[in-house]
Homo-oligomer: A and B are copies of this chain.
């Protein structure tokens, strides 16, 4: 029934991009937004959208943007599941660092084999999150965003654990490495500088001053939950 298996790599990349853009706003996804994220031209996007629409992967009305159908969403989740499982594999089994995995996972996510990905899942002991703290959809596409907050938005004296990054560019991740910030670290927010929004935090015992930009790209899971 689902001919997901005869999708081209390009089609898969469009679907994935539309999924990511669609998550944030509740609006339809704009042609230009897709083009920008995929580093292609709007006219190319329009062409592809028409094809995806034919295949019932997206809802599309001219000039009105696109959204994924349920089939499209399912497809996107399948690709994201593969991407993130491969990222875990690279870190856990092949000793890649978290700033090296994305590029390779971009290739591996297009490998077609249900058995492969389910076996990989088992080998990795069914991980729930990837190396950047992003949730991994299960076999049926089910996944729960973890309850978490940007470090830049929690009140002073909040205590919690670093559970993810918003920006997962290699540049940012290497910066975090250099400053000894990693997922799993205990963090408490000591002070917020009103002038520039920088934070004084305690992380794994050490004191550290981080800019607002950094804080706005770190997710924390606070201890004070119900």
Contacts and interface: CB of A to CB of B under 8 A. Distances in A.
Interface of A: 90, 93-96, 100, 103-104, 107-108, 111-113, 115-116, 119-120, 122-123
B108 A111 contact: yes
Contacts of A111: 104, 107-108, 111
Contacts of A96: 115, 119
A5 B123 CA distance: 30
A100 B120 CA distance: 15
Contacts of A94: 116, 119-120, 122-123
A1 to B, nearest CB: 22
Contacts of A119: 90, 94-96
A94 B122 CA distance: 8
A111 B108 CA distance: 7
Contacts of A122: 94
B123 A100 contact: no
